[in-house]
Amino acid sequence: MTMIDIEEEEIGGVAPLDRPESASSVSIDSVESMNGDIPIALEAEELQLALNKEATEEELLKAIMRCKNLVLETDECSLERKWIVRHLIELRLRLQECREAATDPEHPRNKSSGVSKRTIKGHHFILQPLLRSTTSRYCDHCTSTIWCLVQAWYECQDCSYSCHYKCMSSVLRECAHVVTSERGAFEMEICPEVGLSAQRYKCAECKAHLELNKGYNDPKRCDYNGLYYCSGCHWNSLAIIPARVVHNWDFTPKPVCQATLQQLKVASNRPIINLESLNPKLFNFVHELNLLGRLRNDLYGMRKYLLVCRIANEDHLLWKEIDVPHLLETTNMYSLQDLVDVHSGEIFIKIQTWIDTFTKHIKVDCEICKGRGHICEVCSNDQPLYPFESNAVTCEDCHGVFHKNCFNRKNNCPKCIRLKERDNHMKDINCVDDDDE
């Protein structure tokens, strides 16, 4: 079971997701910079005009020039400059779409069905075909049902944000793909709640006023970021929280807002968790992590053989079998889905299959890889030894490969001793030559 499956299925006795409640209409105000929207210092700027309507080419050009000037006026690496640059990129994409529509009479924008592609708030919206099914979908903006048989609707190809065509001009939520890429990491504090007073008793996303003890619009807390949301932005969806997994090894799904749910979906397969730096003691309590670490070290050692093997490269062996590349490319970075699979045990079946395939190639099928094996200098066993094998050890100084028992019994690396004796011998020869001269 993947993280995404949690949204629509009952897990561990937790009730399934509630159907989203109807949301009251809200104004398009500026929101907190911590949510990736307009920084407070730019509230007075009217740059939203070109993004929240069908702007003309002239309006887009004016907004682009205004953005360029603001970039020069803001501090480097500031939140304001980051928002303006993001806004500038979006405006240029809109301008390109506008020019393509002007030159091509067959462009979907010129037809009554509406625009087929739109870029808003970092979302890359694609017009969806009318479905021939009764599958229920809900608009992420107004929370009402999308009647797929009769209503035109759009979906972001990056974060799966869905909305009616009529709701596109009012989209408030930044694309989860953009937010996740800019942050580059999960929130690693467990439910960092700031309180309703810090939010001025407004929804953290749409800024709707939160009614206390009213029932229909009670504030709902997101367990991931600790902020409070209205019922239109928080649908009681459930998700596994990365901070609870890393610090408590707790995989119990918790209620999160829709923005967080989309961000966790986008980032669930990204290797952005370094367990050894965040919680190294976890390896002492979760033996499955130690096992996974050993298996990944074996894979990393095999990868070095396969990268320089001509036959493996021609057959694309290294990438044909692997659907999670970071498990081979690193040994200490994990994705959230990796940890979920460790907890369920699915990842060990997958990795063992890869190890069996690579071992067969290196030790049996490929003459090139077989020829790169090592011979233990202590016992002189003629059986090839490979550094990724469990009974092998590699000297840190000379990178010689030996049996563990032989190396521990010898105490000193014979290859290092031999190399040192050769260096001393060469120095003696050079000294004799100097004396003769």
List average pLDDT for each run of 10 residues in the chain, which is 437 residues long.
48 38 36 50 59 69 83 80 79 73 51 64 84 72 82 88 87 90 90 90 90 77 94 92 95 95 94 92 91 90 87 83 84 93 92 89 86 77 78 75 75 77 78 61
Structure tokens at 124: 């890359």
The pLDDT value recorded for residue 435 is: 57
The pLDDT value recorded for residue 228 is: 94
Lay out the sheet containing 153-156: strands in order across. Answer: 117-120, 123-127, 153-156, 162-164
User: Domain-by-domain residue ranges, the chain?
Assistant: 278-370
Three-state DSSP at 155 gives strand
The pLDDT value recorded for residue 104 is: 52
The pLDDT value recorded for residue 28 is: 31
C-alpha separations of 409 from 19, 402, 405 in Å: 67, 11, 6
The pLDDT value recorded for residue 187 is: 93
Structure tokens at 343: 């907890």
> What CA–CA distance (Å, rounded) separates 72 from 74?
6
Show Cβ contacts of residue 192 under 8 Å, excluding neighbours closer than 6 positions: 225, 226
The pLDDT value recorded for residue 103 is: 62
Show Cβ contacts of residue 224 under 8 Å, excluding neighbours closer than 6 positions: 187, 191, 239, 241, 242, 243, 254, 256, 257, 260, 264
Beta strands in 247-383 (DSSP E): 254-256, 273-274, 333-334
